[in-house]
Structure formats: structure tokens, C-alpha cells
């Protein structure tokens, strides 16, 4: 079996197939998530990298691969180690189960990112924990109703 998972020798994804490599998609999603968590738009990241925002869009969607030197720049701008961009990457050949995939997709929704950013904007740790307790209580109440 070749690297892209096709025994016939033809690639299922990657250059020339029109289907981005899953690793490129994962890294792009991590870039997007971190960018949104810190409240940065694509244009700001693009300007810091000397690129167009369209290029950042392609990176985030996995359509274009990010070189090692560019990964280093992006990680520095986003204030994370390079390893952050690869964290939670599934081992080669495995796919996340439906529950795990749904959870990942929920965490990448704009409202989830906005909630997290707002939560950490609350300076008083005691108030943050009270807010968290309230959210948990509402969620548990909703689950009991269903």
C-alpha cells in the first residue's frame, strides 16, 4: 500500500487528485482554530506572513501545503509551539469515530470559539468557575428534558 492509502499505486489524495491530504487539512484546521481563538482574522495573519488572505484560506482548508519554514512562522505569530499544529492528529490510516469527529467539528464552530475566548476574557477566576458551573447546570437540565 502506498503512502496515500491506495494499493493500486494511484493516490486517493494529495497533489494532482483534487483531494487534500488529511494531514494538511488537520494542520490547516489547527491554524484556523488558533487564529480564531486569539481573535485574529485571516488578513492580519496573511499580512504578518507577507501573503494574501486567499493563501491563508488555502492553508486553512488544506488545499495548499504549508512548508516547514512557514509552519514555524505561523506558530510564532499565533504564539504556539509547532507541535500544537499537529496535536490531536490521528495516527496514519486511522479515522476518528463519528462521536469524536462531531466533537471536533463542534469545537471549531465560530460560536464555540467565541465562547472560549469570552470565557478566558473574564479576569476573575472565581467568576469564571461560577460561569462554568452555570453552563454545566443548564446543559444537564437540558439533557434531562430530552
Kindly report, residue by residue over 55-90, the tens digit of the pLDDT.
999 999 998 999 999 999 999 999 999 999 998 776
Q: Which of 14-23, 54-63, 91-100 has the highest mean pLDDT?
A: 54-63
Q: Do residues 87 and 122 both lie within one domain?
A: no
Number of domains into which the chain is organized: 2
Mean pLDDT computed over every residue of the chain:
84
Q: Do residues 6 and 63 both lie within one domain?
A: yes
Q: Do residues 76 and 142 both lie within one domain?
A: no
Confidence of residue 1 (pLDDT cuts 50, 70, 90): very low
CB neighbour list of residue 85: distance below 8 Å, 6 or more residues apart? 27, 30, 31, 34, 71, 74, 75
Mean pLDDT lowest among 23-32, 104-113, 128-137: 104-113
Q: Which of 12-16, 88-92, 140-144 has the highest mean pLDDT?
A: 140-144
Q: Do residues 95 and 115 both lie within one domain?
A: no
Domain that holds residue 135: 109-146
Residue 48: inside a domain, yes or no?
yes
Residue 130: inside a domain, yes or no?
yes
Q: Do residues 89 and 128 both lie within one domain?
A: no
Residue 104: inside a domain, yes or no?
no
pTM of the model: 0.69
Q: Do residues 72 and 22 both lie within one domain?
A: yes
Q: Do residues 75 and 127 both lie within one domain?
A: no
Amino acid at each position: 500500500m502506498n503512502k496515500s492509502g491506495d494499493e493500486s499505486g494511484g493516490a486517493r489524495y494529495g497533489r494532482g487528485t483534487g483531494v487534500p491530504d488529511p494531514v494538511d487539512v488537520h494542520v490547516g484546521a489547527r491554524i484556523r482554530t488558533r487564529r480564531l481563538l486569539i481573535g485574529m482574522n485571516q488578513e492580519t495573519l496573511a499580512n504578518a506572513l507577507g501573503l494574501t488572505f486567499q493563501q491563508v484560506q488555502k492553508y486553512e482548508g488544506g488545499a495548499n501545503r504549508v512548508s516547514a519554514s512557514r509552519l514555524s512562522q505561523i506558530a510564532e505569530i499565533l504564539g504556539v509551539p509547532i507541535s500544537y499544529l499537529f496535536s490531536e492528529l490521528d495516527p496514519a490510516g486511522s479515522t476518528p469515530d463519528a462521536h469524536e469527529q462531531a466533537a471536533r467539528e463542534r469545537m471549531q464552530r465560530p460560536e464555540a470559539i467565541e465562547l472560549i475566548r469570552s470565557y478566558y476574557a473574564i479576569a476573575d477566576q472565581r467568576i469564571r468557575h461560577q460561569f462554568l458551573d452555570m453552563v454545566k447546570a443548564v446543559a444537564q437540565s437540558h439533557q434531562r428534558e430530552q
